[in-house]
Amino acid sequence: MPWVEKLSDPNELRRCIRDLVALPAMWHKYDPYQIADSVAAALLSMLHADLVYMALPGRSDAPPIEIVRTEKAVAPDLSAAICAAIHRGLPAPDAQPSLIIANPVGVGVVALACAPIGFGGDVVVVVGSRHLEFPSDAQRLLLRIAANEATIALRRRQVEAERHRLASLIERSSDFVGVASLDGRPQYINPSGLRLVGLSGIERACRLHLLDFVVAEESARLRDQVWPVVISAGRRVGEIGFRHFETGAEIPFLVDWFRIDEAHTGHPMNTATVSRDLTAQKRSEAQLLNLAEMLEQRVAERTAELAQANQRLVAEIAERERSDARVHHLQLEFFHASRLNTAGQLAAALAHELKQPLTAATNSVNAARRLIGKNGHAIDSKVANAMTDAADQTLRAGQIIQRLRDFVARRETERRIENVAAMIEDASALALTGARMLGVQVHFCFDPLAPRAVVDRIQIQQVLINLIRNALEALADSDRRILEVRTRMLDGKTVEIAIADSGPGLTKCVADRLFEPFVSTKRNGMGLGLSICRSIVEAHGGQLRAGPGPDGGTTFRFTVAAAPADGDIHAG
């Protein structure tokens, strides 16, 4: 094999090594890819190899850059196949650095020799040859020299790039950046720093001392306090006044002064500073202080003006509150007239017409009972109870009608302290007639903290009967039929009574107009019941509201005044 024998010639080997070592001279303008490509081309020629593969470290977390050189030109898609084949054939780090794989550029097999490039991981140079004796010791030496030279060149390129970035950052910084020796002699000041202190160039700065850069008043503090802390502790941050070399003006700086130690020995080597000009900040602070003083003066003036205006406003507000109270009273009168105007005449007529027949019915029932007893007939207890209930309820109806007439006429209601639970149970007994036949489950929940209320018993029972009957009608078409009557104390002065059903609930169009006269969800309803109920509750100083229940259905809530704790309960 003549090419192996030729390469084994010491002179030829020395020439190849010399050429490899001479390559870095032409790499100073090359980027990493060009450096690797030139190494691959040199190895392909020197070793008479069939292919050379190099993997370079990518930027940041990017994958490595792969380069393939072959003795004969190959298609771009074949380059990818070559890279994949070499990756599959690369030896483990602790294995022999050469092996045999299938020839990725032709038939047969190729022998591979690889050498790492000093970046770790899979960053390597791989040379392949169809000759199975490959590589010889000389070829291994050339391969390692090439890998070392590539590593040095790439490392130098990285260092130069980092140095260039750092230099660009310092040169372009708007802060004062400087380096000085341990005896206080400036060695470097960036262009912005020279400009800030009025120096034309670094040559003049290097002939000065650090004490020359500060105003006379700061020299002693810099020499005796700041500089010893920088040398001993390694850092000192604070404000200090520099001087402008042309105008002599003082420039306030925030100085971050620190010591630079030698990396290997740890001995102090230089001092450096990154200082920020505070002139604009100080100017802004002065302007803000001036503005604050002006604002304080303006505030004092305006405070005096506002005090006078406030006195006028207090008088105007008092007069407006009196006017608003009068308007509110008139509005209440108007609202009451509006609510009852529709039903007033009808209710008064009905009350007048029904009072007489109800009175006659009561008298007739009582007369019938007396006649039966007078004729010597024994009256069955159930019949007697029924006749008594009929007479009582007829009398009760007359009382309700009389209360309605009084309410329409705006007469004062007859309010007394009543037992809330007894009042609800009496009203429920009448309203819930037939509820058991409908399969309605009725639940009562009375708050022990709300035992009494100041109400007109007849009127509030009228409200309860109306709301309970409405709830029963809502449950008629429901599969789940539950009715609950609950009471609770709200704030120590108000009792809330709630009637909740599990019916289908209210549609939005009905809910928005629920308490208006002549609005009803019933086929034959007149739409007056809820309107009258609301008027009764409001006449008691309370509120009547409707809303959806927590588990569906509808809940009506109204409030009445709670009785004082020491009041007597009316026995009713």
Mean pLDDT of 140-149: 80
Residues with Cβ within 8 Å of 490's Cβ and at least 6 positions away in sequence, in order, are 496, 559
Buried b (16+ CB within 10 A) or exposed e, 518-542: ebbeeeeeebbbbbbbbbbbbbbeb
Q: Is the pLDDT of residue 300 over 80?
A: yes
- Mean pLDDT across the chain: 78
Domain-by-domain residue ranges, the chain?
2-169, 174-277, 316-382, 413-562
By residue count, the chain amounts to 572
- Amino acid identity for residue 567 in this structure: G
The architecture in CATH of the region 174-277 reads 2-Layer Sandwich (3.30)
Buried b (16+ CB within 10 A) or exposed e, 270-291: ebbbbbbbbeeeeeeeeeeeee
* Alpha carbon distance 420, 486 (integer Å): 11
- The encoded tokens of residue 212 equal 């020359």
pLDDT at 375: 60
Mean pLDDT of 432-459: 87
Per-residue pLDDT band for 409 (boundaries 50, 70, 90) equals: low
Residues with Cβ within 8 Å of 109's Cβ and at least 6 positions away in sequence, in order, are 100, 101, 102, 103, 130, 132
pLDDT at 338: 47
pLDDT at 526: 45
Residues with Cβ within 8 Å of 183's Cβ and at least 6 positions away in sequence, in order, are none
* Alpha carbon distance 17, 38 (integer Å): 15
Share of the chain above pLDDT 70, in %: 75
Task: Pick from 64-78, 390-404, 430-444 the range whose average pLDDT is largest.
Answer: 430-444
- Cβ atoms within 10 A of the Cβ of 96, count? 8
* Alpha carbon distance 183, 209 (integer Å): 9
- The region of weakest confidence among 287-296, 310-319, 330-339 is 330-339
Mean pLDDT of 382-405: 71
Residues with Cβ within 8 Å of 241's Cβ and at least 6 positions away in sequence, in order, are 214, 215, 217, 218, 250, 251, 252, 253
* Alpha carbon distance 156, 148 (integer Å): 12
* Alpha carbon distance 56, 62 (integer Å): 11
* Alpha carbon distance 135, 507 (integer Å): 93
pLDDT at 487: 95
DSSP string for 189-228: E-HHHHHHHT-S-HHHHHTS-GGGGB-HHHHHHIIIIIHH
Please check whether the two domains, 174-277 and 413-562, share a CATH topology. Answer: no
Secondary structure (3-state) at 314: helix
Residues with Cβ within 8 Å of 224's Cβ and at least 6 positions away in sequence, in order, are none
Find how far residue 424's CA is from the centre of its chain. 49
Could you tell me which residues are beta bridge partners of residue 113?
98, 127
- Amino acid identity for residue 106 in this structure: G
* Alpha carbon distance 153, 145 (integer Å): 12
* Alpha carbon distance 223, 240 (integer Å): 12
Closest CA to 392 of 365, 422, 352, 425: 365
pLDDT at 392: 74
Q: What number does CATH give the domain 2-169?
A: 3.30.450.40
* Alpha carbon distance 254, 234 (integer Å): 17
* Alpha carbon distance 69, 52 (integer Å): 5
pLDDT in tens, 470-487: 888 888 888 888 999 999
Homologous superfamily (CATH) for 413-562: Histidine kinase-like ATPase, C-terminal domain (3.30.565.10)
Q: Long-range CB contacts (< 8 A, 24+ apart) of 406-414?
A: 407/459, 407/535, 407/536, 407/539, 408/340, 408/343, 408/344, 408/347, 408/348, 408/351, 409/348, 410/336, 413/456, 413/459, 413/539, 413/540, 414/456
CB 115 within 8 A of CB 124: yes
* Alpha carbon distance 256, 174 (integer Å): 15
pLDDT in tens, 162-220: 777 777 787 888 889 989 998 889 988 889 889 999 998 888 888 899 889 999 898 89
- The encoded tokens of residue 254 equal 């925030």
pLDDT at 348: 61
